Homo-oligomer: A and B are copies of this chain.
Amino acid sequence: MVRGRRDAAPVLWHRKHDHRRCFEDALARAVSLCRRCGARLTAIRRRVLEVVWQGHRPLGAYEILETLRAERAGVAPPTVYRALDFLLGHGLVHRIESLNAFVGCSDPGSSHGGQFLICRTCGTAAELNDRRIALAIEGCSSESGFHVHHATIEVSGLCPNCQQSDAKVANA
């Protein structure tokens, strides 16, 4: 197993987050990764990736579609889904099954389970990739004689910010 650099859980909500930088880094990583493996990050694919990375809230395919349509006429669902398939295939975005939505991958090129903490108030999704969770799942599965291919882990709850907001409302 690859040594994970992210086990310390650098979670999005803790520090003041420079999303401008976050966004540009993600795009740069994508460009570099595609160049290395000879994949063609075309204009449409790149634009879909940018839209997905506008924030850390998973976006539905039709939300992405609306954004593209505002910029350019005649964009249809297959255009968006094809771009998303490409990005999924190269590990640049993840699909959030419980929301039928898509979010940028915060660490493309690495191991890649895809474990998410999703705030049910503000909608923000933070990617974990914690070894302990992966090991627990691998352990239980192999005890059952099951061979793991992919694990979907999507935790719904309240992020630190929204817990504070809730407390304020309760005290009012």
CB within 8 Å for A147 and B133 given contacts A141-B155, A155-B152, A156-B152: no
Nearest CB to that of A117 among chain B residues?
B146
Asked if B98 and A152 make an inter-chain contact with CB atoms under 8 angstroms apart, the answer reads yes
Q: Which residue from B14, B115, B137 sits with its C-beta under 8 Å from A155?
A: B137
Total copies of the chain: 2
Q: Which residue from B130, B146, B155, B159 sits with its C-beta under 8 Å from A151?
A: B155
Total residues of chain A contacting the partner, CB 8 A: 40
Nearest CB to that of A13 among chain B residues?
B145
Q: Which residue from B132, B147, B152 sits with its C-beta under 8 Å from A97?
A: B152
Q: Which residue from B97, B117, B143, B146 sits with its C-beta under 8 Å from A98?
A: B97
A9 touches B (CB below 8 Å): yes
Q: Mark A1-41, 1 if CB is under 8 A from B, else 0.
A: 00000000101011000000000000000000000000000
CB within 8 Å for A146 and B136 given contacts A97-B98, A152-B98: no
Shortest distance from the beta carbon of A83 to any chain B beta carbon, whole Å: 21
Q: Which 10 A-B pairs have the closest CB atoms?
A: A145-B160, A11-B144, A136-B136, A149-B157, A97-B97, A152-B154, A97-B98, A147-B158, A148-B157, A133-B136
